[in-house]
């Protein structure tokens, strides 16, 4: 059951990331670059 819900959720979230990516790029936000909140932040 969990897997059945997880697949569409992951798909939609990853596609939403493209919209958010455009927003961050257009608005010039750089906080995604150094985010401390994300558990899997870019380790730089």
Can you give the binding site for other proteins, defined by CB under 8 A? 2-22, 24-26, 30, 32-35, 37-44
- Give min distance, CB of 21 to other proteins, in A: 3
d(CA 37, CA 16): 19
- Give min distance, CB of 1 to other proteins, in A: 9
- Give min distance, CB of 36 to other proteins, in A: 9
């Amino acid at each position: 059951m969990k897997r059945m819900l997880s697949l569409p959720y992951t798909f939609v979230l990853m596609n939403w990331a493209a919209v958010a990516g455009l927003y961050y790029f257009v608005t010039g936000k750089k906080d995604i670059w150094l985010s401390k909140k994300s558990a899997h932040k870019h380790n730089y």
